[in-house]
Chains A and B, each alone.
Chain A
Amino acid sequence: MKTIYLDNNATTKTDEEVLNTMMPYLLDNYGNPSSIYKIGRENKKAIEDSREKVAQILNCEPNEIYFTSGGSESDNTAIRGIAYSYKNKGNHIITSKIEHPAVLETCKQLEKEGFEVTYIGVNKNGIIDLEELEKSIKSTTILITIMFANNEIGTIEPIKEIGEIARKNNIIFHTDAVQAVGSVKIDVRKLNIDSLSLSAHKFYGPKGIGVLYVKRGIQFNKIINGGHQERNKRAGTENVAGIVGLAKAMDLAYRNLEANNEKVKELRNYYVKQIKEKIPYIKINGDMEKRLPGNSNISFRFIEGEGLLLNLDLKGICASSGSACTSGSLNPSHVLLAIGLPHEIAHGSLRISIGKYNTKEEIDYVIENLVEIVGRLREMSPLWEKFIEEENK
């Protein structure tokens, strides 16, 4: 059976062009970049060229770019590193209720260590409440960390405005842009971003490599101790092939940004429109305008998400859900609860995230199967039975 991959917000297939750029650094130029001989030195140059490329795309300086193992490490380093560095100035951090666990769990850890964290809410579309943000600023606030785009519902946050608020109040602004980089144009200067996380595998690059951008002049304690790599800010022999792959993937993503976004968005809109027409009693989660191009998140009422995913998997379709059963906890997605969905509707959510390799035929196949599966699961659902009985009264 053919695999139909529609979980591109989780990760993406590595682009072959990216892989080809990486291969020489695994097979031939495998030297340690800190070494003096040729196959080491050349690697050092490859790293610096990649750094320059990344900096150019984000509109910052190469010495503001640090390579890490990915989004989680970048978020941990930025938040903890900045918090420890500025703890003499204050101990208050502001974040949102819909952050990725890499941010939320780091903030929770800091709370245990004596920091104070405010988790601000979002409206029903998942957009940050700017007024609440301004009101929660205190004299002790040292850091605002708010995601660029949400990984579950695809909502793009008002980053420029948040950056302005932070700047006005002389507070450092970090953004977890893992989900946005590769599909949104980002100029860290124009957007007043002081610190940013990104990860290559979200835009057809390899897994295990990411970037932390930190504006010059902003201090952050290093989290990983050891050698002097990354200007003594992140120890560990550099993942050269990964770094080269990341830069290549980012270059490809931004060179073809509009065309890719247009294609992906068209497929996404087609999918949502068809589902709306063909399946009653659904709820579209997130904002349809301020949204990542490939992301869709729909709750199918009266059914549970894991049952839906398992049935899709039997048809070769890969997707994800915010149901408790798939999160491994008892609660459904914190993001869906934050936008005000009742538990039972959050349990029935399905995230289909479209990427550059998907085709209209694949989307048609998914729609056809979803209509059948949702129908069958509803026939099996006591909630549906009850609803229909009440409708017929």
Chain B
Amino acid sequence: MEYSEKVVEHYTNPRNVGKIENASGIGEVGNPVCGDIMKMFIKVENNVIVDVRFKTFGCGAAIATSSISTEMIKEKTIEEALQLKNTDVVNNLGGLPPVKLHCSVLAEEAIHEAIADYYRKEGKLTEEEITRKCNLKKHSCESCGI
């Protein structure tokens, strides 16, 4: 399997690894059975994501997509972060092998889950509004449906 230089660079030196104590929001997606779990921690101040960290169990692509997506949403407003699409992650990485595209979906979903968690803690929106706003899905892992 051939990974792009950017993917190699990110799994070799992943950015923003770790966790945030008292995070504003935490999102965890994936399943150990499928072989990948992503956990995103965000710190929000005045509607801006001032810090973001991740922990990932998974392959090189899972680590690289987690790493680059933390860079892509840092210093962005919540609304901007919600605009991030998995295809943007893939493009920024210089492409991913087809069997690894689901990793980028997981990264997008982890961010959405973390923001949803932030909204829940904030307590201003109903669950229905959060689900719609964050585009939450029932299944985290589309490829295996678990």
Contact = CB atoms under 8 A, between A and B. Distances in A.
Contacts of A305: 59
Contacts of B3: 310
Given A380-B14, A382-B28, A382-B57, A304 B36 contact: yes
Contact of B35 (A310, A323, A328): A323
A31 to B, nearest CB: 41
A27 interface: no
A5 B39 CA distance: 34
B32 interface: yes
Nearest to B39: A382
Interface string B50-65: 0000011111111100
B115 to A, nearest CB: 18
A307 B11 contact: yes
A381 B17 CA distance: 10
Contacts of A302: 57
Interface in B44-78: 55-63
Contacts of B14: 380
Interface in B12-47: 12, 14, 17, 19, 28, 32-39
A167 interface: no
Interface centre among B28, B35, B39 (most CB of A within 10 A): B35
A251 B19 CA distance: 58
A307 B57 CA distance: 9
A330 B143 contact: yes
Nearest to A343: B33
**Interface of B: prevailing SS:** mixed
A342 B35 CA distance: 11
A380 B59 contact: no
A385 interface: yes
A252 interface: no
Contacts of B143: 330
Given A310-B11, A328-B99, A380 B63 contact: yes
B37 A382 contact: yes
A325 interface: yes
A306 B32 contact: no
Nearest to B33: A343
A332 interface: yes
A304 B57 contact: yes
A382 B55 contact: yes
A313 B39 CA distance: 26
A310 B32 CA distance: 19
A326 to B, nearest CB: 8
Contacts of A342: 33
Interface of A: 302-307, 310-311, 314, 323-325, 328, 330, 332, 342-344, 347, 379-385
Q: Which 8 A-B pairs have the closest CB atoms?
A: A344-B32, A306-B59, A325-B59, A382-B39, A382-B55, A343-B33, A347-B35, A381-B57
Given A307-B11, A342-B33, 6 more contacts: A304-B58, A304-B59, A306-B59, A307-B59, A328-B1, A381-B56
21 contacts: A303-B57, A305-B59, A310-B59, A311-B12, A323-B35, A323-B59, A325-B61, A330-B34, A332-B35, A342-B33, A343-B32, A343-B33, A344-B32, A344-B33, A347-B32, A380-B55, A381-B37, A381-B55, A382-B39, A382-B56, A383-B57
